[in-house]
Amino acid sequence: MKVKEWLKRYERVPVTAAADWTLEQAANALLDRPGVRDLFLIDDQGRLIGHVSLRRIAQLLLAEHLPFPSRRQLMERIACGPVQELMDPHVTAASLEEEVDDVLHRLIEQGLEDLPVVDASRRLVGVVNLSTVLRALRPSASGPLPDIGANN
């Protein structure tokens, strides 16, 4: 199955933010979608430019609860910048024409719960969600893994 077919079957809208958003705006965007932990930063053309996790945002917003912060955490607490200063600009993505089989290892290895899917112009068009993949592919008690290869 190609990624574009997967997106039709298991549609999931990614949570996005602009690079100059504050941490509070970014946190609100994620909290409005319970269960979503990945925030994708896009430019004004809708192209994917980076990724920030809910955990990273929470670490900064809740920093005052850390009893022994490092010097780096102290600086982040008093002089925190826009969300783009936290983003991973090398976030991995899948393309619409790839096979789902070929992108799963990226989803597993990168520590993401939502693997972004981009078109040829790197515009963000959807995400492949880890829970959805697990639900679709988990081995049943009696049988082998479901086949989601090209012939499916």
Partner 1 sequence: MNAEPKVILLIGLLMVAGLAAGTWVARLGAPRVLGYVLAGMLFSTGLLGGTLGLRVEGWAEPLVEFSLGIIAYLIGGAMTAAQLRRSGRVILISAVGESLGAVVAVFLTMLWIIGAEQGAALALAFAALAATTDPAGSVAVLHQYRSSGPLSKTLLGVAAIDDALGILLYSLVLIGFTDLPLLAGTGAAAVTIAGGVLLGIASGRALAWTVQRLHFREFHLPAILAAILLTIGLAQQWELPHLLAVMALGFTSRHALASMGERVILPLERLEETVFLLFFTLAGAQFEINVFSVHLGLVAAYFVARALGKICGAYLGASLASAPLPVRRWLGPTLIPQAGVAVGLAMALTHHPALQDMGTVIVNVLLANTFLCEAAGPLAARFALARAGEIGAKRKRHGT
Per CB under 8 A, residues contacting partner 1 are 50, 64-72, 74-81, 84-90
The smaller minimum CB distance to partner 1, of residues 59 and 95, is found at 59
> What are the C-alpha distances in Å from 34 to residues 25, 41, 54, 98?
15, 18, 11, 29
> What are the C-alpha distances in Å from 17 to residues 26, 33, 58, 151?
7, 13, 16, 37
* Closest distance of CB 118 from partner 1, Å: 19
* Closest distance of CB 81 from partner 1, Å: 6
The smaller minimum CB distance to partner 1, of residues 115 and 125, is found at 115
Tokens of 133: 């993949």
* Closest distance of CB 85 from partner 1, Å: 5
The smaller minimum CB distance to partner 1, of residues 86 and 100, is found at 86
Write phi, then psi, for 143 (nearest 5 degrees): -120, 175
